[in-house]
Protein backbone atom coordinates (compact mmCIF):
# COMPACT_ATOMS: atom_id res chain seq x y z
CA UNK A 1 0.00 0.00 0.00
CA UNK A 2 1.33 3.44 -0.89
CA UNK A 3 0.19 6.98 -0.18
CA UNK A 4 -0.80 9.49 -2.86
CA UNK A 5 0.12 12.87 -1.39
CA UNK A 6 -0.65 16.51 -2.08
CA UNK A 7 2.11 17.49 -4.52
CA UNK A 8 4.11 20.69 -4.48
CA UNK A 9 2.89 22.64 -7.51
CA UNK A 10 5.35 25.49 -7.35
CA UNK A 11 7.96 27.15 -5.19
CA UNK A 12 6.64 28.12 -1.75
CA UNK A 13 3.27 26.40 -2.22
CA UNK A 14 2.16 25.41 1.28
CA UNK A 15 -1.48 24.34 0.89
CA UNK A 16 -3.87 23.15 -1.77
CA UNK A 17 -7.64 22.69 -1.83
CA UNK A 18 -9.05 19.48 -3.28
CA UNK A 19 -11.71 20.56 -5.78
CA UNK A 20 -12.80 17.18 -7.16
CA UNK A 21 -11.82 13.54 -7.47
CA UNK A 22 -11.66 12.00 -10.94
CA UNK A 23 -11.46 8.49 -9.46
CA UNK A 24 -13.22 6.43 -6.81
CA UNK A 25 -12.17 3.46 -4.67
CA UNK A 26 -11.66 0.40 -6.82
CA UNK A 27 -10.61 2.31 -9.94
CA UNK A 28 -7.47 1.08 -11.69
CA UNK A 29 -5.01 3.89 -12.45
CA UNK A 30 -1.86 4.16 -14.51
CA UNK A 31 1.12 6.44 -14.05
CA UNK A 32 0.27 9.83 -15.57
CA UNK A 33 -3.53 9.55 -15.17
CA UNK A 34 -5.29 12.68 -13.92
CA UNK A 35 -6.94 11.63 -10.66
CA UNK A 36 -7.85 14.93 -8.97
CA UNK A 37 -8.30 18.66 -9.37
CA UNK A 38 -6.47 20.84 -6.85
CA UNK A 39 -6.82 24.59 -6.45
CA UNK A 40 -3.80 26.72 -5.60
CA UNK A 41 -3.17 30.45 -5.71
CA UNK A 42 -2.31 29.99 -9.40
CA UNK A 43 -5.57 28.32 -10.35
CA UNK A 44 -7.05 24.82 -10.60
CA UNK A 45 -4.49 22.17 -11.55
CA UNK A 46 -5.04 18.67 -12.92
CA UNK A 47 -3.07 16.37 -10.60
CA UNK A 48 -1.54 13.21 -12.02
CA UNK A 49 -0.67 10.02 -10.19
CA UNK A 50 2.87 8.67 -10.47
CA UNK A 51 2.31 4.97 -10.00
CA UNK A 52 0.15 2.21 -11.41
CA UNK A 53 -2.29 0.41 -9.16
CA UNK A 54 -5.81 0.48 -7.72
CA UNK A 55 -7.34 3.27 -5.63
CA UNK A 56 -7.93 1.76 -2.21
CA UNK A 57 -9.52 4.69 -0.39
CA UNK A 58 -9.89 8.46 -0.60
CA UNK A 59 -8.64 10.25 2.51
CA UNK A 60 -9.46 13.87 1.67
CA UNK A 61 -12.91 15.04 0.56
CA UNK A 62 -13.62 17.84 -1.99
CA UNK A 63 -13.46 21.25 -0.39
CA UNK A 64 -10.76 20.35 2.14
CA UNK A 65 -7.61 22.49 2.28
CA UNK A 66 -4.55 20.43 3.19
CA UNK A 67 -0.78 21.07 3.35
CA UNK A 68 1.72 19.89 0.76
CA UNK A 69 2.67 16.31 1.55
CA UNK A 70 -0.65 15.40 3.17
CA UNK A 71 -2.05 11.99 2.20
CA UNK A 72 -4.89 12.35 -0.29
CA UNK A 73 -5.54 8.69 -1.06
CA UNK A 74 -4.21 5.17 -0.55
CA UNK A 75 -3.16 3.12 -3.57
CA UNK A 76 -2.52 -0.58 -3.91
CA UNK A 77 0.53 -1.24 -6.08
CA UNK A 78 1.06 -3.09 -9.37
CA UNK A 79 1.03 -6.60 -7.91
CA UNK A 80 -2.21 -6.11 -6.06
CA UNK A 81 -3.66 -4.32 -9.08
CA UNK A 82 -3.15 -7.46 -11.11
CA UNK A 83 -4.52 -9.76 -8.42
CA UNK A 84 -7.58 -7.79 -7.31
CA UNK A 85 -9.99 -6.57 -10.01
CA UNK A 86 -11.94 -3.38 -9.26
CA UNK A 87 -15.14 -5.36 -8.59
CA UNK A 88 -13.44 -7.14 -5.69
CA UNK A 89 -12.66 -3.93 -3.80
CA UNK A 90 -14.47 -3.83 -0.41
CA UNK A 91 -17.56 -1.60 -0.18
CA UNK A 92 -17.08 2.04 0.69
CA UNK A 93 -18.22 1.58 4.26
CA UNK A 94 -15.64 -1.12 5.12
CA UNK A 95 -13.18 0.16 7.71
CA UNK A 96 -9.52 -0.70 7.17
CA UNK A 97 -7.22 -1.34 10.09
CA UNK A 98 -5.71 1.79 11.61
CA UNK A 99 -2.04 2.31 10.88
CA UNK A 100 -0.43 4.41 13.60
CA UNK A 101 2.08 5.73 11.08
CA UNK A 102 -0.53 7.46 8.93
CA UNK A 103 -3.83 9.27 9.51
CA UNK A 104 -6.85 6.95 9.70
CA UNK A 105 -8.89 6.58 6.52
CA UNK A 106 -11.96 8.80 6.54
CA UNK A 107 -14.86 6.47 5.75
CA UNK A 108 -18.58 6.68 6.46
CA UNK A 109 -20.05 4.40 9.12
CA UNK A 110 -21.68 1.20 7.97
CA UNK A 111 -25.35 1.56 7.07
CA UNK A 112 -28.00 -0.97 8.10
CA UNK A 113 -28.72 -3.52 5.39
CA UNK A 114 -32.12 -1.98 4.70
CA UNK A 115 -30.68 1.43 3.88
CA UNK A 116 -28.63 2.61 0.92
CA UNK A 117 -24.99 3.51 1.46
CA UNK A 118 -24.46 7.28 1.39
CA UNK A 119 -21.17 9.11 1.08
CA UNK A 120 -20.48 11.88 3.63
CA UNK A 121 -20.48 14.50 0.87
CA UNK A 122 -23.82 13.21 -0.48
CA UNK A 123 -25.35 13.33 3.02
CA UNK A 124 -24.16 16.92 3.41
CA UNK A 125 -25.58 17.91 0.02
CA UNK A 126 -28.90 16.26 0.88
CA UNK A 127 -29.17 18.43 3.99
CA UNK A 128 -28.25 21.56 2.03
CA UNK A 129 -30.76 20.87 -0.76
CA UNK A 130 -33.56 19.41 1.33
CA UNK A 131 -33.54 16.00 -0.34
CA UNK A 132 -34.92 12.95 1.47
CA UNK A 133 -32.27 10.24 1.22
CA UNK A 134 -34.78 7.40 1.14
CA UNK A 135 -36.15 8.70 -2.17
CA UNK A 136 -32.81 8.68 -3.98
CA UNK A 137 -31.53 5.77 -6.05
CA UNK A 138 -27.77 5.45 -5.83
CA UNK A 139 -25.65 5.13 -8.95
CA UNK A 140 -22.29 4.81 -7.23
CA UNK A 141 -20.26 1.73 -6.47
CA UNK A 142 -22.40 -1.06 -4.94
CA UNK A 143 -25.45 1.21 -5.27
CA UNK A 144 -24.09 3.94 -3.00
CA UNK A 145 -25.67 7.39 -3.15
CA UNK A 146 -23.30 10.08 -4.44
CA UNK A 147 -23.40 13.86 -4.32
CA UNK A 148 -24.26 13.82 -8.03
CA UNK A 149 -27.30 11.63 -7.30
CA UNK A 150 -28.47 14.13 -4.66
CA UNK A 151 -28.08 17.08 -7.03
CA UNK A 152 -30.01 15.28 -9.78
CA UNK A 153 -32.79 14.48 -7.33
CA UNK A 154 -32.91 18.10 -6.18
CA UNK A 155 -33.08 19.34 -9.75
CA UNK A 156 -35.96 16.94 -10.48
CA UNK A 157 -38.14 18.36 -7.69
CA UNK A 158 -41.03 20.54 -8.97
CA UNK A 159 -40.01 24.19 -9.14
CA UNK A 160 -36.48 23.41 -8.01
CA UNK A 161 -33.62 25.76 -8.79
CA UNK A 162 -30.49 24.24 -10.39
CA UNK A 163 -28.20 22.90 -7.69
CA UNK A 164 -24.92 24.73 -7.22
CA UNK A 165 -21.75 22.65 -7.61
CA UNK A 166 -20.55 21.05 -4.40
CA UNK A 167 -17.06 22.49 -4.57
CA UNK A 168 -16.80 25.24 -7.19
CA UNK A 169 -13.39 26.55 -8.13
CA UNK A 170 -12.86 30.17 -7.18
CA UNK A 171 -11.83 32.72 -9.75
CA UNK A 172 -8.17 33.52 -10.09
CA UNK A 173 -7.05 35.53 -7.07
CA UNK A 174 -4.44 37.87 -8.49
CA UNK A 175 -3.40 39.21 -5.10
CA UNK A 176 -2.84 35.68 -3.80
CA UNK A 177 -0.88 34.81 -6.95
CA UNK A 178 1.30 37.88 -6.52
CA UNK A 179 1.97 36.92 -2.91
CA UNK A 180 3.08 33.44 -3.98
CA UNK A 181 5.31 34.82 -6.75
CA UNK A 182 6.79 37.36 -4.36
CA UNK A 183 7.47 34.70 -1.74
CA UNK A 184 9.20 32.45 -4.28
CA UNK A 185 11.33 35.28 -5.64
CA UNK A 186 12.22 36.52 -2.13
CA UNK A 187 13.31 32.99 -1.22
CA UNK A 188 15.36 32.82 -4.42
CA UNK A 189 17.20 36.09 -3.81
CA UNK A 190 17.68 35.23 -0.14
CA UNK A 191 19.04 31.70 -0.60
CA UNK A 192 20.58 31.58 -4.09
CA UNK A 193 23.88 33.40 -4.77
CA UNK A 194 23.06 34.66 -8.26
CA UNK A 195 25.56 35.58 -10.95
CA UNK A 196 24.58 37.17 -14.26
CA UNK A 197 26.01 36.90 -17.78
CA UNK A 198 24.92 38.31 -21.14
CA UNK A 199 25.77 37.61 -24.77
CA UNK A 200 24.60 39.31 -27.97
CA UNK A 201 23.76 36.75 -30.67
CA UNK A 202 23.52 37.30 -34.42
CA UNK A 203 20.16 35.88 -35.55
CA UNK A 204 20.72 36.36 -39.31
CA UNK A 205 21.23 32.70 -40.15
CA UNK A 206 18.39 31.54 -37.93
CA UNK A 207 15.89 34.04 -39.34
CA UNK A 208 16.92 33.41 -42.95
CA UNK A 209 16.58 29.66 -42.48
CA UNK A 210 13.25 30.14 -40.73
CA UNK A 211 11.86 32.30 -43.56
CA UNK A 212 12.91 29.74 -46.17
CA UNK A 213 11.50 26.84 -44.14
CA UNK A 214 8.17 28.55 -43.46
CA UNK A 215 7.78 29.37 -47.16
CA UNK A 216 7.43 25.61 -47.74
CA UNK A 217 4.76 25.21 -45.07
CA UNK A 218 1.08 25.97 -44.67
CA UNK A 219 0.21 28.80 -42.30
CA UNK A 220 -0.83 26.43 -39.51
CA UNK A 221 2.47 24.51 -39.70
CA UNK A 222 4.83 27.47 -39.63
CA UNK A 223 7.51 27.78 -36.96
CA UNK A 224 8.23 30.69 -34.64
CA UNK A 225 11.78 31.72 -33.82
CA UNK A 226 11.04 31.07 -30.14
CA UNK A 227 11.05 27.34 -30.98
CA UNK A 228 14.64 27.73 -32.20
CA UNK A 229 15.58 29.52 -28.96
CA UNK A 230 14.12 26.77 -26.75
CA UNK A 231 15.74 24.03 -28.78
CA UNK A 232 19.13 25.76 -28.64
CA UNK A 233 18.81 26.19 -24.85
CA UNK A 234 17.95 22.51 -24.42
CA UNK A 235 20.90 21.25 -26.47
CA UNK A 236 23.27 23.70 -24.76
CA UNK A 237 22.03 22.50 -21.37
CA UNK A 238 23.04 18.96 -22.32
CA UNK A 239 26.55 20.25 -23.01
CA UNK A 240 26.73 22.19 -19.74
CA UNK A 241 24.67 20.09 -17.29
CA UNK A 242 25.41 22.35 -14.30
CA UNK A 243 22.63 24.69 -15.46
CA UNK A 244 20.04 21.93 -15.75
CA UNK A 245 18.82 20.43 -12.49
CA UNK A 246 17.58 21.14 -8.98
CA UNK A 247 19.11 22.20 -5.66
CA UNK A 248 17.47 19.92 -3.08
CA UNK A 249 18.46 19.20 0.51
CA UNK A 250 21.71 21.11 0.25
CA UNK A 251 22.99 19.41 -2.90
CA UNK A 252 22.68 19.71 -6.66
CA UNK A 253 20.76 16.96 -8.44
CA UNK A 254 21.44 16.94 -12.20
CA UNK A 255 18.32 16.32 -14.27
CA UNK A 256 17.98 13.26 -16.49
CA UNK A 257 16.08 15.24 -19.14
CA UNK A 258 15.78 18.87 -20.16
CA UNK A 259 12.33 20.06 -19.09
CA UNK A 260 12.17 23.76 -19.90
CA UNK A 261 9.87 25.92 -17.81
CA UNK A 262 8.31 28.62 -19.97
CA UNK A 263 7.26 31.84 -18.27
CA UNK A 264 3.69 32.52 -19.50
CA UNK A 265 1.74 35.67 -18.68
CA UNK A 266 -1.98 35.09 -18.16
CA UNK A 267 -4.54 37.29 -19.90
CA UNK A 268 -6.22 38.22 -16.61
CA UNK A 269 -2.85 38.98 -15.05
CA UNK A 270 -0.30 36.94 -13.18
CA UNK A 271 2.34 34.48 -14.29
CA UNK A 272 2.82 30.73 -14.45
CA UNK A 273 5.91 28.69 -15.25
CA UNK A 274 4.86 25.29 -16.69
CA UNK A 275 7.40 22.98 -18.30
CA UNK A 276 7.69 21.43 -21.74
CA UNK A 277 9.14 17.97 -21.15
CA UNK A 278 12.19 16.53 -22.93
CA UNK A 279 12.84 19.53 -25.17
CA UNK A 280 16.24 18.09 -26.08
CA UNK A 281 14.50 15.04 -27.60
CA UNK A 282 11.80 16.88 -29.56
CA UNK A 283 12.11 18.10 -33.13
CA UNK A 284 11.01 21.63 -34.00
CA UNK A 285 7.53 20.57 -35.11
CA UNK A 286 6.91 18.69 -31.87
CA UNK A 287 8.29 21.59 -29.87
CA UNK A 288 6.12 24.12 -31.69
CA UNK A 289 3.04 22.00 -31.08
CA UNK A 290 3.96 21.63 -27.41
CA UNK A 291 4.52 25.37 -26.99
CA UNK A 292 1.15 26.35 -28.47
CA UNK A 293 -0.67 23.67 -26.49
CA UNK A 294 0.99 24.73 -23.23
CA UNK A 295 0.20 28.43 -23.70
CA UNK A 296 -3.43 27.72 -24.60
CA UNK A 297 -3.97 25.39 -21.65
CA UNK A 298 -2.17 27.72 -19.23
CA UNK A 299 -4.46 30.59 -20.18
CA UNK A 300 -7.52 28.33 -20.03
CA UNK A 301 -6.54 27.01 -16.58
CA UNK A 302 -5.94 23.40 -17.65
CA UNK A 303 -2.37 22.75 -16.56
CA UNK A 304 -1.17 19.45 -15.11
CA UNK A 305 0.75 18.98 -11.90
CA UNK A 306 3.80 17.50 -13.68
CA UNK A 307 4.07 20.62 -15.84
CA UNK A 308 4.34 22.79 -12.72
CA UNK A 309 6.74 20.56 -10.78
CA UNK A 310 9.08 19.00 -13.36
CA UNK A 311 10.89 22.05 -14.78
CA UNK A 312 14.70 21.81 -14.71
CA UNK A 313 15.59 25.21 -16.25
CA UNK A 314 13.42 28.21 -17.12
CA UNK A 315 13.34 30.44 -20.20
CA UNK A 316 11.68 33.86 -20.19
CA UNK A 317 11.26 35.71 -23.48
CA UNK A 318 10.14 39.32 -23.20
CA UNK A 319 10.95 40.32 -26.76
CA UNK A 320 7.29 40.72 -27.69
CA UNK A 321 6.96 43.30 -24.90
CA UNK A 322 9.76 45.37 -26.39
CA UNK A 323 12.30 44.44 -23.73
CA UNK A 324 15.88 44.41 -25.00
CA UNK A 325 17.34 42.35 -22.18
CA UNK A 326 16.10 40.59 -19.05
CA UNK A 327 18.11 39.38 -16.05
CA UNK A 328 15.66 37.06 -14.32
CA UNK A 329 15.42 35.64 -10.82
CA UNK A 330 16.03 31.88 -10.62
CA UNK A 331 12.90 29.85 -9.90
CA UNK A 332 13.79 27.54 -6.97
CA UNK A 333 14.70 24.75 -6.72
CA UNK A 334 16.07 25.24 -10.25
CA UNK A 335 19.61 26.60 -10.60
CA UNK A 336 19.46 28.68 -13.78
CA UNK A 337 17.21 30.96 -15.81
CA UNK A 338 17.73 32.07 -19.41
CA UNK A 339 16.33 35.35 -20.70
CA UNK A 340 15.84 36.64 -24.24
CA UNK A 341 14.99 40.16 -25.34
CA UNK A 342 13.63 41.42 -28.67
CA UNK A 343 15.51 41.11 -31.96
CA UNK A 344 16.98 44.49 -32.91
CA UNK A 345 18.82 45.62 -36.04
CA UNK A 346 22.27 46.69 -34.84
CA UNK A 347 25.60 47.53 -36.43
CA UNK A 348 27.76 44.45 -36.86
CA UNK A 349 31.28 44.07 -38.20
CA UNK A 350 32.18 40.94 -40.21
CA UNK A 351 34.94 40.28 -42.75
CA UNK A 352 36.09 43.89 -42.53
CA UNK A 353 32.65 45.26 -43.37
CA UNK A 354 30.09 46.93 -41.13
CA UNK A 355 26.39 46.34 -41.69
CA UNK A 356 23.11 45.96 -39.86
CA UNK A 357 22.27 42.53 -38.45
CA UNK A 358 19.29 41.26 -36.41
CA UNK A 359 20.70 40.72 -32.92
CA UNK A 360 19.23 39.29 -29.76
CA UNK A 361 20.56 39.54 -26.21
CA UNK A 362 20.64 36.27 -24.30
CA UNK A 363 21.22 36.34 -20.55
CA UNK A 364 21.91 33.71 -17.93
CA UNK A 365 21.10 33.93 -14.23
CA UNK A 366 23.13 31.18 -12.59
CA UNK A 367 23.40 29.65 -9.13
CA UNK A 368 26.98 30.07 -7.84
CA UNK A 369 26.56 27.02 -5.58
CA UNK A 370 26.48 24.86 -8.72
CA UNK A 371 28.22 26.72 -11.54
CA UNK A 372 30.35 29.80 -12.17
CA UNK A 373 31.00 32.39 -14.84
CA UNK A 374 33.27 30.05 -16.79
CA UNK A 375 30.64 27.31 -17.10
CA UNK A 376 27.87 29.85 -17.63
CA UNK A 377 29.89 31.46 -20.41
CA UNK A 378 30.32 28.08 -22.09
CA UNK A 379 26.57 27.60 -21.96
CA UNK A 380 25.82 30.94 -23.67
CA UNK A 381 28.56 30.23 -26.23
CA UNK A 382 26.86 26.91 -27.01
CA UNK A 383 23.49 28.65 -27.46
CA UNK A 384 25.12 31.10 -29.89
CA UNK A 385 26.85 28.31 -31.85
CA UNK A 386 23.65 26.29 -32.18
CA UNK A 387 21.67 29.26 -33.45
CA UNK A 388 24.25 29.74 -36.23
CA UNK A 389 23.33 26.26 -37.52
CA UNK A 390 19.51 26.32 -37.41
CA UNK A 391 19.19 23.53 -39.95
CA UNK A 392 20.66 21.16 -37.34
CA UNK A 393 18.18 22.08 -34.64
Cβ atoms within 10 A of the Cβ of 6, count? 23
Domain co-membership, 144 together with 178: no
CATH number at residue 234: 3.30.559.10
Instruction: For Cα atoms 133, 137, 139, give the angle at the middle one, nearest 5 degrees.
Output: 120
Query: Is the pLDDT confidence value at 393 over 70?
Result: yes
% of the chain residues with pLDDT over 90: 51
Q: Are strands 194-202 and 260-262 parallel, antiparallel or unpaired?
A: unpaired
CATH number at residue 136: 2.40.50.100
Domain co-membership, 92 together with 237: no
Q: Do residues 252 and 333 make contact, with C-beta atoms less than 8 angstroms apart? A: no
Domain co-membership, 207 together with 356: yes
Q: What are phi and psi of 123, to 5 degrees?
A: -65, -40
Answer yes or no: is 300 within a domain. yes
Answer yes or no: is 324 within a domain. yes
pLDDT at residue 11, as a whole number: 66
Domain co-membership, 137 together with 180: no
Q: Please, which residues have CB within 8 angstroms of residue 164's CB and are 6 or more apart in sequence?
A: none
Cβ atoms within 10 A of the Cβ of 335, count? 27
Domain co-membership, 196 together with 339: yes
Task: Note the pLDDT tens digit of each residue in 133-175.
Answer: 778 887 654 566 776 677 778 777 665 555 454 444 445 566 7
Query: Of the given ranges (9-18, 100-109, 208-217), which has the lowest mean pLDDT?
Result: 100-109
Task: Note the pLDDT tens digit of each residue in 81-126.
Answer: 444 344 333 343 335 444 444 444 444 444 443 345 665 556 767 7
Query: Of the given ranges (161-175, 227-241, 297-311), which has the lowest mean pLDDT?
Result: 161-175
Domain co-membership, 148 together with 186: no
Q: What's the rounded mean pLDDT across residues 379-384?
A: 98
Answer yes or no: is 375 within a domain. yes
Instruction: Pick the last residue of a domain from 156, 183, 207.
Output: 156
pLDDT at residue 272, as a whole number: 86
> Per the structure, how many domains does the chain have?
2
Domain co-membership, 183 together with 293: yes
Q: What are phi and psi of 47, to 5 degrees?
A: -100, 125
pLDDT at residue 144, as a whole number: 65
Domain co-membership, 124 together with 190: no
Beta strands in the chain (DSSP E): 2-5, 15-21, 28-29, 34-40, 43-48, 53-58, 65-67, 71-76, 194-202, 245-248, 251-254, 260-262, 264-265, 271-272, 275-276, 313-317, 336-340, 344-350, 353-367
Domain co-membership, 145 together with 54: yes
Domain co-membership, 281 together with 350: yes
pLDDT at residue 128, as a whole number: 67
Domain extent for 10? 2-156
Domain co-membership, 89 together with 63: yes
Domain co-membership, 283 together with 186: yes
Amino acid sequence: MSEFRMPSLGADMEFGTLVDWRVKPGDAVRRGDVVALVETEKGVIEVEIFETGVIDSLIVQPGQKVPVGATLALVRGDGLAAEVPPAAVPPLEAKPAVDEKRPPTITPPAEPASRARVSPLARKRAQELGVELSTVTGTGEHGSVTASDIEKAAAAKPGAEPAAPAAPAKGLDLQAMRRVIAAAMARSKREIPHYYLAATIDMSKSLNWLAAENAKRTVTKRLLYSALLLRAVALAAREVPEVNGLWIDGAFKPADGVHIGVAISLRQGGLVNPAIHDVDKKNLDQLMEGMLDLVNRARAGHLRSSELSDGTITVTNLGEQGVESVFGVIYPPQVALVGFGKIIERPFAADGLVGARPMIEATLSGDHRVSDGHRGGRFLLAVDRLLQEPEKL
